[in-house]
Amino acid sequence: MKDTRIRQVLARRVWDSRGRPTVEAEVTLGDGALGRAIVPAGASTGTREALELRDGGSAFGGLDVQRALAHVQGEIAAALAGCDAADQAALDRCLIALDGTPDKTRLGANATLAVSLAAAHAAAASAGLPLYRWLGSTLGGGPATLLPMPQIQIFGGGAHAGRRVDIQDFMVVCPGATSFAQALEWTAEVYRCAGLGMRRRGPLHGVADEGGWWPDFDTNEQALQALVAAIEEAGFAPGAQVAIALDVAASEFGRDGRYRLGLEGRELDADGLIELLLRWIERYPIVSIEDPLAEDDLDGFARFTRAAGRRVQVVGDDLLVSQAARVQEAAAAGAANCVLLKPNQRGTLTETLDAWRAAQAAGYAGIVSARSGETEDTSIVHLAIGWGVGQLKVGAFARGERMAKWNEALRIEQRLGAAARFAGAAAFGHSR
């Protein structure tokens, strides 16, 4: 018998893709197996997310994480000493009880998630399995052979690009692709053609936080037109082969039922925004829309889902914050048909899985998602495959912290060989 009891928990400060401090945890087991994980950070965060504990003060703009690191090496390490890392649910229950608050406001979700995830890595290492297989054989209980449909950003906007466009993510998915590798090949061509097109029309401000091109557009709709042009220039049929996914991230520009489109100098109410999005769905090959309305507008979400939910996937990010109870509440209201899963929105692996289980019970689809502040950590790829979630959103087809994830999924696809299945268009929420 391997000794999977936790022997040591270490924390260190590392740096994310925006050059900001973040938490890395390292868990060592009795048999010497070691697991390591780094926590990412959002910019357009939902107000109901679990707390990301930052130090405040003047160093690094108040974003240092010394308090979270101290919690990992102090209280958490002491409480988990001797705990069985192979029993993730019990370990996470221990973290939740130790924190004692609904949203990890005492220890910080960055402290708890780093340890929760590092422990999973350690348990997988002890079992001699890659993390996705370990998750498939324990937590998720699935075959862990489903490769996700990638949602890949082509243009970045909103809080990730100086708010040059109001819509945050203009992304593509590849419903016509027959494998994960092929979806990446197609997206690579679309991303390249979009960049060439942007340079031609200029000016281009480089790339946004998640690696998408960051151009000057006069209207949000211009970005949609440019995206269709890039798909065509790359040689693909818009819609059938390569389609559009949006993250409106409406909480960023909407409050109390008013939505301010700064780029176009106009303000809409919820129904005005819904009408605008419905018009875009008519005109452009859009198959997925995330956060079409603000996080506090469950009613608006439900109205939009009634109007568009059979044609497009309606994704709740800020609305659902990877929380099972929020998913159940939204499902009861008929709001959204897909959950975005970001482990650091809740602070443990088990609670994130609970949100996915609640989503499946409600007939929702799911997307495992990175944050805008990322690192070389590729754990989320393993979560997507290990839990059989079917879709993965990581940002653009550029920047090392993004490519690390796409490349990790390619490795897994190759390792699985003939056993690998590609989620394809069936992954989308509206087709269920």
- As a whole number of angstroms, the longest Cα–Cα distance in the chain is 66
Compare residues 125 and 341 and give the one whose CB is closer to ligand PGA.
Answer: 341
| Minimum CB distance to Zn ion, residue 41 (Å) | 14
Comparing CA positions, the residue from 298, 371, 367, 370 lying closest to residue 336 is 298
Backbone angles phi, psi at 364, to 5 degrees: -80, 155
Q: Can residue 45 be called a binding residue for ligand PGA (CB under 6 A)?
A: yes
- Is residue 317 a contact point for ligand PGA (CB under 6 A)? yes
Q: How far is the CB of 373 from ligand PGA (least distance, A)?
A: 7
- For residues 277 and 283, is the Cβ–Cβ distance under 8 A? no
Kindly name the residue from 104, 342, 393, 405 that is annotated as catalytic: 342
Per CB under 6 A, 372 contacts ligand PGA: yes
Is residue 405 annotated as a catalytic residue, yes or no? no
Give me the residues paired with residue 27 across strands: 9, 35
Told to check if 247 binds ligand PGA by CB under 6 A, we report yes
Is 44 among the residues that bind ligand PGA (CB under 6 A)? yes
393 annotated active-site = no
Residues 6+ apart with CB under 8 A from 204: 195, 198, 213, 214, 215, 216
Q: 35 with 122: CB under 8 angstroms? A: yes
Query: What whole-number distance in Å separates Cα of residue 396 and Cα of residue 389?
Result: 20
425 interacts with, out of ligand PGA, Zn ion, none, CB within 5 to 8 A per kind? none
Does residue 28 sit in helix, strand or coil? strand
Q: Which does 43 bind (CB under 5 to 8 A by kind): ligand PGA, Zn ion, none?
A: ligand PGA
Q: Which of 317, 354, 377, 408 binds Zn ion (CB under 5 A)?
A: 317
Q: What is the DSSP letter of 51?
A: P
Q: Which is nearer to Zn ion, 227 or 367 (CB)?
A: 367
Binding Zn ion (rule: CB under 5 A), the pick from 209, 210, 247, 354 is 247
> Parallel, antiparallel, or unpaired for β 213-215 and 204-207?
antiparallel
The residue at minimum Cβ distance from ligand PGA is 42
226 binding ligand PGA? (CB under 6 A) = no
Q: From 318, 317, 315, 293, select the one nearest 303 (Cα to Cα).
A: 293
Q: Using CB under 5 A, list all residues that contact Zn ion.
A: 247, 290, 317
Q: Using CB under 6 A, list all residues that contact ligand PGA.
A: 42-45, 168, 247, 249, 317, 369, 371-372
Question: Known catalytic residues?
Answer: 210, 342
